[in-house]
Chain A
Amino acid sequence: MLQLVLFNLFNGLIIGAFYVLLALGLSMILNLSNVINFAHGNFLALGGYFAYVLIPYIGFWPALIVSPLLTAVLGLIIERTMIRRIYGRDPIYSLLLTFGLAFMIQDACRYIWGVNGLPLTTPASISQPLSQEFFFLTGYRLFVVGIVIIAVAGLFAFLRYSRMGMRIRAGVLDLDTVSALGINVRLLRSLNFAGGIFLAGLAGVLAGGQIGLNPNMGDSLLLPSFIAIIIGGMGSLVGTLLGGLLIGVAAAITTMFYASASDTIIYVIMALVLLVRPRGLLGEEGML
């Protein structure tokens, strides 16, 4: 029994790591641009499909970097042509826009790659369980966790130590002042948006290797990622990190005892957290 609980704890952390990756990208965009990106899960799917197309030509490892980059470029184009036009308007319009984008991308994926699931081939070197005992720690899942740790560490270092990162953090706190100081806010937002989409694309390649690709693959991940942000508290990337891990573990432990509620438990947790701490675990000021 104890062993089972420990297994599920670890397993939950692995699941949670995945939410973290998606939630961080969402959170970046939400914090700086005040845009709720409902198309984030569809950018994730795009990242996976790009990898599917690229792997036969360039192999898995390059595709792991190139596909998210392509997704980010697409995100940049969309930001420059569409998202930009709703900055400063009531955030509810970003909802209509990103819902529309979500529908369009999802249907485009269906049209191009079909409704049936497609497999994403991962290198044999990371596809096996590592040990008989800890069978759920497959090489691939540990690899995913490793990538998430690198991405998170990279993102935090970037925000803390690079000039650009400091500007982004400042912009989250007070965009007007940053703008008044002569910093190009438009460029800042564009790059920040592209960065968030890059993380979504990366998550897409990783998810594709685990469960394969289908046009709706991002749907079931999107809402839990939002919840991770909210539980952690908006504006705090550390909070997002905590929130993602928390819901992953909660879902896994719930599966042990009452599996059919494993979807619902994360909503219950969110409701409880917000009733006790209206701004989430580490959040400060609400927006929208």
Chain B
Amino acid sequence: MKQELEKLQKDFKKSVDDVKDVLKLDEVYQRFFSRKSGEMTNIMKNLKELTGDARKEIGKLANEVKGELEYIYGKKKESLENQKWEKIAQTEKIDISQPKLPKKRKGHLHPMTIVHNELEDLFTSMGFMVLDGPELESDYYNFEALNIQKTHPARDSQDTFFIKDHPEWVMRTHTSPLQVRAMQKYGAPLRSVVTGRCFRNEATDASHEHTFYQMEGIVVDREISVANLIGTMKELLQGVLKREVEIRLRPGYFPFVEPGFELDMKCLVCEGQGCGACKHSGWVETLPCGLSHPSVIEAGGLDPKEWKGFAFGLGSMRLAMQKYGIEDIRHLHAGNIKFLEQF
């Protein structure tokens, strides 16, 4: 029986070597391992007739041979199967530069929406509440509550859109009315930003629009200092621009803050050396800000002795234009698909 096994082992190996495809291989396999009459199967069946040590010895050997043959078969089968993929690089080649057909339609967000989303996300992550309010505002919130006196030039009609038959209504000229509305609604401490549409009565050209967008922030807390304002502004700008910035404050006048500042940022184009982008000064006027005027805190229903605040504004439309290099402000409201689908 031992010889039988050895012969069978040799036969199997030779037959497997000669085989060229999976079909033939399986025929060979059947010949040896078919349940009914496979040569190996028969040997295994005959093992029963042996006894004692012989049965043990031959049985062990038979199992070893069986295992080996099964392994050889498996290897051969794997190599034959892999052969058929060899030419796949040619036979199944496609043009990878071709788009999926039919083309999937794509929509686009307006650049102002993209910029506002980014700003709102940043400020939300810093704990600011996102607000918006009426675009048609009352004279009270747009001017009076912000310490802008009745005689202030901003209240002349060449700067502000008024509403017919409603002298106490205006189209808001800035997002600042929300400073007071927010304090009245949410009290203090408060951190909020507003992004929204504003209106100024001025003729439209490549760099002026009667309809524009601002982002405004206000922080109210028990102790707020100029030093806090500078620190926060620096962090914010670095968040917006995603890089280190250097800033400086200089005096600026806005009725609803005292002291008021113009915040300049060291020019990112020339790094302060002076270039066309910063009018050769090395600094770019970036945003107006200041400590909240006590009368504004008071209008917000808070005690200015107890609560202090600071506010800042950002022309988000200019930011969008800078971000995308839009040269003419009029594109933004033109509803031209050739412009809109670029974002």
A pairs with B: no
Give chain A's interface residues, CB within 8 Å of chain B: none
